[in-house]
């Protein structure tokens, strides 16, 4: 492990850290020496005994504010925030009723705003801080028909991240990771058919496969670490060559 990726002494909150990309991120952060705190609806399902775990509803402001405050208190401060919490639905716009639309925006976009709003004052108390938001490759190039509410919510995350990068500077860096298709429990029903990866989906990717959660977590780790100390406001595609940004 390089010196730049040594996270010893860093205190990082991972929202959505109980599964998928979030859980892989927690594993890598801890391996690099960071202290982590998982915020999730079901935090008891995640990590080992060394992880702090706090229940949080990302769509509820009081829950977000309380969870972040408690995390900072338990860890003795906050150096980093990673938000991997989110929901997905492949519905076309005609099949997206208002309740689905509102839920997608509430969790994916409003939840991101709530985390940033209440984390930034905590991060400003440190000498430096990093926020990494999980947008999506679909925020760069929509995948085709369907997923209208999801695409809209992730496009909002991308724009919010860019705005926050300017507002939070110079002490806090804000970046977005834009994954392509990742093989996680959230995407499995779309990616797989009879336990086999659907070839028409991976055909859109130059690398001809979906990513693992660990491959996305590697990008998150780099953006959280001092190795990316002069990087802020970017949208980093980790999409196996679907968008070629």
So which residues are the catalytic ones?
Answer: 150
Q: Which residues contact 89 (CB under 8 A, 6 or more apart)?
A: 96, 100, 104, 147, 149, 150
d(CA 94, CA 75): 46
Let me know: does 233 contact 166? Beta carbons within 8 Å: yes
Give which of 130, 110, 129 is closest to 60, Cα–Cα: 110
**Rounded distance, CA 33 to CA 99, Å?**
42
Identify whether the C-beta of residue 15 lies closer than 8 Å to the C-beta of residue 40.
yes
Q: Is the dihedral of CA 165, 223, 157, 123 positive or negative?
A: negative
* Residue recorded with tokens 């208002």: 98
Residues in the chain: 245
Q: How many CA atoms lie within 13 A of 65 on its CB side?
A: 5
3 state SS of 54: strand
């Amino acid at each position: 492990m390089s010196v730049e990726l040594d996270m010893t002494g860093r205190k990082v909150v991972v929202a959505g850290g109980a599964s998928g990309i979030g859980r892989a991120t927690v594993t890598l952060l801890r391996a690099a020496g960071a202290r982590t705190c998982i915020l999730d609806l079901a935090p008891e399902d995640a990590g080992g005994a060394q992880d702090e775990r706090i229940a949080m509803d990302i769509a509820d402001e009081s829950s977000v504010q309380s969870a972040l405050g408690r995390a900072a208190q338990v860890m003795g401060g906050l150096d980093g925030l990673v938000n991997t919490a989110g929901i997905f639905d492949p519905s076309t716009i005609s099949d997206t009723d208002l309740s689905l639309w509102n839920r997608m925006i509430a969790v994916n976009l409003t939840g991101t705003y709530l985390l940033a709003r209440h984390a930034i004052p905590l991060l400003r108390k440190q000498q430096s801080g990093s926020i990494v938001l999980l947008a999506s490759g679909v925020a760069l190039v929509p995948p085709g028909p369907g997923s209208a509410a999801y695409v809209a919510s992730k496009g909002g995350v991308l724009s919010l991240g860019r705005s926050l990068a300017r507002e939070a500077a110079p002490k806090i860096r804000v970046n977005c990771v834009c994954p392509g298709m990742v093989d996680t429990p959230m995407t499995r029903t779309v990616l797989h058919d009879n336990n086999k990866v659907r070839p028409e989906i991976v055909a859109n990717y130059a690398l001809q496969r979906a990513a693992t959660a660990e491959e996305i977590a590697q990008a998150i780790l780099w953006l959280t670490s001092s190795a990316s100390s002069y990087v802020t406001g970017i949208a980093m595609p980790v999409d196996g060559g679907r968008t070629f940004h």
